[in-house]
């Protein structure tokens, strides 16, 4: 079976490093699953997700100079969210997130100003 970009194969984890995991594919070809391609969430330690000799499904994402790049997270696609918004099904848009961030940021700044003013004795008052 030829290793082609886009194909999904099953392989065995043969080694784990701080930057990813080596997976042996059919026909004895070995590829690397980079730490960023293990899960859709932040991966601090590869060993939290994989163990040696574990059988995993991987997607071939690149082949160059005899090196095979693999992905586990791309096999399953992006996580599905429940309660999607209409046909888009993506949750909130960038504009909505930005608007919410700006509102929360302004609220935090107001709270900080009030806190600082109360520590100084309020606006316009002088100690003396």
| Closest residue by Cα to residue 38 from 30, 48, 29 | 48
Tell me which residue of 14, 62, 63, 20 sits closest to 38, measured CA to CA: 20
Instruction: Note the pTM of the prediction, 2 decimals.
Output: 0.59
Supply 42's token pair. Answer: 């932040």
- Give per-residue pLDDT as tens, 74-122: 998 665 544 444 444 455 678 878 888 888 888 888 888 888 877 776 5
If one looks up domain 8-75 in CATH, what number appears? 2.40.50.140
Domain spans, the chain = 8-75, 89-119
Residue pLDDT, tens place only, 3-14: 889 999 999 999
**Do 33 and 58 meet the contact criterion of CB atoms below 8 Å apart?**
yes
């Amino acid at each position: 079976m030829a290793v082609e970009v886009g194909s999904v194969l099953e392989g065995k984890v043969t080694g784990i490093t701080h930057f990813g995991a080596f997976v042996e594919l059919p026909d004895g070809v070995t590829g690397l699953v980079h730490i960023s391609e293990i899960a859709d969430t932040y991966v601090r330690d590869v060993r939290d997700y994989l163990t040696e000799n574990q059988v995993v499904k991987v997607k071939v994402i690149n082949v160059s100079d005899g090196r095979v790049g693999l992905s586990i997270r791309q096999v399953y696609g992006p996580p599905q969210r429940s309660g999607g918004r209409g046909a888009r099904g993506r949750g909130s848009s960038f504009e909505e997130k930005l608007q919410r961030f700006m509102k929360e940021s302004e609220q935090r700044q107001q709270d900080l100003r009030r806190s600082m003013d109360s520590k100084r004795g309020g606006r316009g008052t002088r100690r003396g």
